[in-house]
Protein backbone atom coordinates (compact mmCIF):
# COMPACT_ATOMS: atom_id res chain seq x y z
CA UNK A 1 0.00 0.00 0.00
CA UNK A 2 1.50 3.33 -1.09
CA UNK A 3 1.51 6.01 1.61
CA UNK A 4 -1.38 8.47 1.58
CA UNK A 5 0.99 11.44 1.23
CA UNK A 6 2.64 10.12 -1.94
CA UNK A 7 -0.73 9.01 -3.31
CA UNK A 8 -2.27 12.47 -2.80
CA UNK A 9 0.76 14.06 -4.44
CA UNK A 10 0.38 11.82 -7.49
CA UNK A 11 -3.36 12.61 -7.69
CA UNK A 12 -2.69 16.34 -7.58
CA UNK A 13 -0.23 16.09 -10.45
CA UNK A 14 -2.89 14.34 -12.50
CA UNK A 15 -5.70 16.72 -11.51
CA UNK A 16 -3.88 19.91 -12.30
CA UNK A 17 -4.79 19.36 -15.89
CA UNK A 18 -28.33 5.79 14.45
CA UNK A 19 -25.25 7.10 15.08
CA UNK A 20 -22.82 6.87 17.93
CA UNK A 21 -21.46 9.96 19.64
CA UNK A 22 -18.01 10.90 18.42
CA UNK A 23 -15.06 11.48 20.77
CA UNK A 24 -14.72 15.10 21.89
CA UNK A 25 -11.55 15.71 19.88
CA UNK A 26 -12.65 13.89 16.69
CA UNK A 27 -12.61 16.08 13.58
CA UNK A 28 -13.20 15.74 9.84
CA UNK A 29 -11.08 16.73 6.86
CA UNK A 30 -12.57 20.04 5.67
CA UNK A 31 -9.83 20.85 3.15
CA UNK A 32 -9.90 17.82 0.87
CA UNK A 33 -7.18 17.17 -1.67
CA UNK A 34 -4.09 19.38 -1.75
CA UNK A 35 -0.51 19.02 -3.02
CA UNK A 36 1.38 17.82 0.10
CA UNK A 37 5.01 17.96 1.09
CA UNK A 38 6.27 14.43 1.88
CA UNK A 39 9.31 13.13 3.71
CA UNK A 40 11.60 10.69 1.90
CA UNK A 41 9.89 7.87 3.81
CA UNK A 42 6.53 8.83 2.33
CA UNK A 43 4.99 10.32 5.45
CA UNK A 44 3.59 13.86 5.57
CA UNK A 45 5.76 16.73 6.70
CA UNK A 46 4.33 18.24 9.86
CA UNK A 47 4.03 21.66 8.18
CA UNK A 48 2.14 22.05 4.92
CA UNK A 49 1.87 25.24 2.89
CA UNK A 50 0.04 26.65 -0.09
CA UNK A 51 1.92 29.73 -1.16
CA UNK A 52 2.27 31.94 1.92
CA UNK A 53 -0.45 30.13 3.89
CA UNK A 54 0.67 27.28 6.16
CA UNK A 55 -0.85 24.83 8.65
CA UNK A 56 0.11 21.78 10.74
CA UNK A 57 -1.15 18.29 9.88
CA UNK A 58 -1.37 14.89 11.57
CA UNK A 59 -0.05 11.59 10.22
CA UNK A 60 -3.21 11.35 8.09
CA UNK A 61 -2.29 14.64 6.41
CA UNK A 62 -5.40 16.33 7.81
CA UNK A 63 -5.11 19.93 9.01
CA UNK A 64 -5.16 20.14 12.81
CA UNK A 65 -4.48 23.87 13.31
CA UNK A 66 -5.75 27.15 11.95
CA UNK A 67 -4.06 28.47 8.82
CA UNK A 68 -1.24 30.96 9.40
CA UNK A 69 1.58 32.65 7.51
CA UNK A 70 4.88 31.01 6.64
CA UNK A 71 6.32 31.70 10.12
CA UNK A 72 4.12 28.97 11.63
CA UNK A 73 6.06 26.37 13.66
CA UNK A 74 4.98 22.72 13.61
CA UNK A 75 7.31 21.03 16.10
CA UNK A 76 6.19 17.46 15.47
CA UNK A 77 4.03 15.29 13.23
CA UNK A 78 1.21 14.33 15.60
CA UNK A 79 0.00 10.76 15.23
CA UNK A 80 -3.61 9.94 14.34
CA UNK A 81 -4.27 7.02 16.67
CA UNK A 82 -7.98 6.47 15.97
CA UNK A 83 -9.95 6.73 12.73
CA UNK A 84 -13.74 6.42 12.62
CA UNK A 85 -15.27 5.59 9.24
CA UNK A 86 -19.02 6.11 9.19
CA UNK A 87 -21.13 5.00 6.21
CA UNK A 88 -24.85 5.39 5.64
CA UNK A 89 -26.34 2.89 3.22
CA UNK A 90 -29.35 3.58 0.99
CA UNK A 91 -32.86 2.94 2.27
CA UNK A 92 -33.87 -0.70 2.30
CA UNK A 93 -36.85 -2.61 3.65
CA UNK A 94 -34.90 -4.89 5.97
CA UNK A 95 -31.64 -4.44 7.89
CA UNK A 96 -28.49 -6.24 6.81
CA UNK A 97 -27.19 -9.27 8.65
CA UNK A 98 -24.75 -7.75 11.14
CA UNK A 99 -22.52 -10.82 11.33
CA UNK A 100 -22.14 -11.10 7.54
CA UNK A 101 -21.47 -7.37 7.29
CA UNK A 102 -18.77 -7.45 9.97
CA UNK A 103 -17.11 -10.46 8.35
CA UNK A 104 -17.12 -8.83 4.90
CA UNK A 105 -15.52 -5.56 6.01
CA UNK A 106 -12.95 -7.24 8.24
CA UNK A 107 -11.84 -9.53 5.41
CA UNK A 108 -11.79 -6.61 2.97
CA UNK A 109 -9.64 -4.43 5.22
CA UNK A 110 -7.17 -7.17 6.16
CA UNK A 111 -6.76 -8.63 2.65
CA UNK A 112 -7.35 -5.72 0.26
CA UNK A 113 -5.35 -3.17 2.27
CA UNK A 114 -3.17 -5.67 4.22
CA UNK A 115 -3.94 -4.12 7.60
CA UNK A 116 -3.27 -6.33 10.61
CA UNK A 117 -6.64 -7.34 12.05
CA UNK A 118 -5.65 -6.27 15.55
CA UNK A 119 -5.95 -2.65 14.45
CA UNK A 120 -9.66 -3.09 13.62
CA UNK A 121 -11.17 -2.14 16.96
CA UNK A 122 -14.81 -2.71 16.01
CA UNK A 123 -17.34 -2.82 13.18
CA UNK A 124 -20.76 -1.72 14.37
CA UNK A 125 -24.02 -1.83 12.40
CA UNK A 126 -26.99 0.29 13.44
CA UNK A 127 -29.27 0.57 10.43
CA UNK A 128 -28.62 2.49 8.24
CA UNK A 129 -25.16 3.31 9.66
CA UNK A 130 -22.03 1.17 9.51
CA UNK A 131 -19.20 2.39 11.75
CA UNK A 132 -15.65 1.04 11.46
CA UNK A 133 -13.14 1.93 14.17
CA UNK A 134 -9.42 1.64 13.40
CA UNK A 135 -7.00 2.16 16.30
CA UNK A 136 -3.21 2.21 16.10
CA UNK A 137 -1.08 4.23 18.50
CA UNK A 138 2.63 4.90 18.33
CA UNK A 139 3.66 2.10 20.68
CA UNK A 140 1.63 -0.54 18.79
CA UNK A 141 2.70 0.19 15.22
CA UNK A 142 5.86 -1.51 13.99
CA UNK A 143 7.87 -0.38 10.95
CA UNK A 144 6.35 -3.08 8.76
CA UNK A 145 2.71 -2.36 9.60
CA UNK A 146 0.41 -0.53 7.21
CA UNK A 147 -0.77 2.78 8.66
CA UNK A 148 -4.49 3.13 9.45
CA UNK A 149 -4.48 6.56 7.76
CA UNK A 150 -3.44 4.99 4.46
CA UNK A 151 -6.05 2.24 4.83
CA UNK A 152 -8.82 4.74 5.59
CA UNK A 153 -7.90 6.80 2.51
CA UNK A 154 -7.94 3.79 0.17
CA UNK A 155 -11.15 2.52 1.71
CA UNK A 156 -12.97 5.86 1.48
CA UNK A 157 -12.08 6.20 -2.21
CA UNK A 158 -13.22 2.60 -2.84
CA UNK A 159 -16.60 3.18 -1.19
CA UNK A 160 -17.14 6.49 -3.02
CA UNK A 161 -16.46 4.84 -6.39
CA UNK A 162 -13.11 6.53 -6.98
CA UNK A 163 -10.92 3.50 -6.39
CA UNK A 164 -7.14 3.66 -6.73
CA UNK A 165 -7.25 0.03 -7.86
CA UNK A 166 -8.65 0.83 -11.31
CA UNK A 167 -8.68 -2.80 -12.41
CA UNK A 168 -10.17 -4.12 -9.17
CA UNK A 169 -13.21 -2.08 -8.10
CA UNK A 170 -14.56 -2.85 -4.62
CA UNK A 171 -17.91 -4.60 -4.88
CA UNK A 172 -19.87 -4.32 -1.63
CA UNK A 173 -22.49 -7.02 -2.12
CA UNK A 174 -24.41 -9.29 0.18
CA UNK A 175 -25.94 -12.23 -1.60
CA UNK A 176 -27.04 -10.90 -4.97
CA UNK A 177 -27.65 -7.36 -3.72
CA UNK A 178 -25.12 -4.59 -4.20
CA UNK A 179 -25.01 -2.18 -1.29
CA UNK A 180 -25.06 1.52 -2.16
CA UNK A 181 -23.95 4.27 0.20
CA UNK A 182 -25.55 7.69 0.50
CA UNK A 183 -22.82 9.23 2.65
CA UNK A 184 -19.37 8.36 3.96
CA UNK A 185 -17.62 10.41 6.66
CA UNK A 186 -14.19 9.94 8.21
CA UNK A 187 -13.27 11.31 11.65
CA UNK A 188 -9.75 11.57 13.08
CA UNK A 189 -8.62 11.44 16.70
CA UNK A 190 -5.00 12.43 17.34
CA UNK A 191 -2.72 11.57 20.24
CA UNK A 192 -2.64 15.33 20.95
CA UNK A 193 -5.91 17.32 20.59
CA UNK A 194 -6.14 19.64 17.54
CA UNK A 195 -5.55 23.37 17.92
CA UNK A 196 -8.51 25.03 16.23
CA UNK A 197 -9.97 28.40 17.23
CA UNK A 198 -13.09 30.33 16.31
CA UNK A 199 -11.21 31.44 13.18
CA UNK A 200 -11.65 27.94 11.81
CA UNK A 201 -15.44 28.21 11.63
CA UNK A 202 -16.75 27.10 8.26
CA UNK A 203 -17.86 29.83 5.83
CA UNK A 204 -21.44 28.57 6.07
CA UNK A 205 -21.55 28.94 9.84
CA UNK A 206 -19.94 32.38 9.64
CA UNK A 207 -22.58 33.43 7.09
CA UNK A 208 -25.37 32.30 9.41
CA UNK A 209 -23.87 34.24 12.33
CA UNK A 210 -23.54 37.39 10.17
CA UNK A 211 -27.16 37.13 9.00
CA UNK A 212 -28.40 36.75 12.59
CA UNK A 213 -26.37 39.76 13.74
CA UNK A 214 -27.62 41.91 10.84
CA UNK A 215 -31.21 40.89 11.60
CA UNK A 216 -30.82 41.85 15.27
CA UNK A 217 -29.25 45.22 14.42
CA UNK A 218 -31.98 45.93 11.85
CA UNK A 219 -34.65 45.11 14.43
CA UNK A 220 -33.11 47.49 16.97
CA UNK A 221 -32.89 50.30 14.39
CA UNK A 222 -36.55 49.85 13.39
CA UNK A 223 -37.61 49.84 17.04
CA UNK A 224 -35.69 53.06 17.80
CA UNK A 225 -37.07 54.86 14.73
CA UNK A 226 -40.62 53.76 15.54
CA UNK A 227 -40.37 55.08 19.07
CA UNK A 228 -38.96 58.41 17.86
CA UNK A 229 -41.77 58.87 15.35
CA UNK A 230 -44.36 57.99 18.00
CA UNK A 231 -42.84 60.55 20.37
CA UNK A 232 -42.96 63.28 17.73
CA UNK A 233 -46.61 62.45 16.95
CA UNK A 234 -47.61 62.70 20.62
CA UNK A 235 -45.83 66.06 21.01
CA UNK A 236 -47.52 67.42 17.87
CA UNK A 237 -50.92 66.24 19.10
CA UNK A 238 -50.46 67.94 22.48
CA UNK A 239 -49.38 71.18 20.79
CA UNK A 240 -52.48 71.20 18.55
CA UNK A 241 -54.77 70.62 21.53
CA UNK A 242 -53.19 73.54 23.42
CA UNK A 243 -53.76 75.84 20.43
CA UNK A 244 -57.41 74.77 20.24
CA UNK A 245 -57.94 75.51 23.95
CA UNK A 246 -56.42 78.99 23.56
CA UNK A 247 -58.72 79.66 20.61
CA UNK A 248 -61.82 78.70 22.59
CA UNK A 249 -60.81 80.84 25.56
CA UNK A 250 -60.32 83.82 23.24
Q: Residue 116: its pLDDT value, please?
A: 96
Contact 194, 207 (CB under 8 A): no
Residue ranges of alpha helices (H) inside 93-139 are 98-107
For the full predicted model, state whether its pTM sits above 0.85. no
pLDDT for res 209: 73
- Smallest Cα–Cα separation from 29: which of 143, 186, 147? 186
**Which among 61, 70, 67 is positioned nearest to 7, based on CA atoms?**
61
Cβ within 8 Å of residue 95, ≥6 positions away: 125, 127
216 sits in which H/E element = helix 203-249
One digit per residue, the tens of pLDDT, for the chain of length 250 reads: 789 999 888 888 765 545 678 898 999 999 999 999 999 999 999 999 999 999 999 999 999 999 999 999 999 999 999 999 999 999 988 899 999 999 999 999 999 999 999 999 999 999 999 999 999 998 889 888 999 999 999 999 999 989 988 888 898 988 778 899 999 999 999 999 999 886 555 555 566 677 778 888 887 877 777 776 665 555 555 556 666 656 666 5
Residue 140's nearest CA partner among 114, 120, 113 is 120
Q: For strand 181-190 and strand 80-89, is the pairing parallel, antiparallel, or unpaired?
A: antiparallel
Amino acid sequence: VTSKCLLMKAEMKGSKSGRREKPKDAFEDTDGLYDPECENTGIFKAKQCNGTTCWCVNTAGVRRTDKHDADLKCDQLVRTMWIIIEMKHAERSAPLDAESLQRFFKETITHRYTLDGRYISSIVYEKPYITINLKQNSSEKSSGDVDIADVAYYFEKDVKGDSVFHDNILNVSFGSERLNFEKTSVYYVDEIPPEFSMKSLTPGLIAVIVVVIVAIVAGIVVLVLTRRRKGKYVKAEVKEMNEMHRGLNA
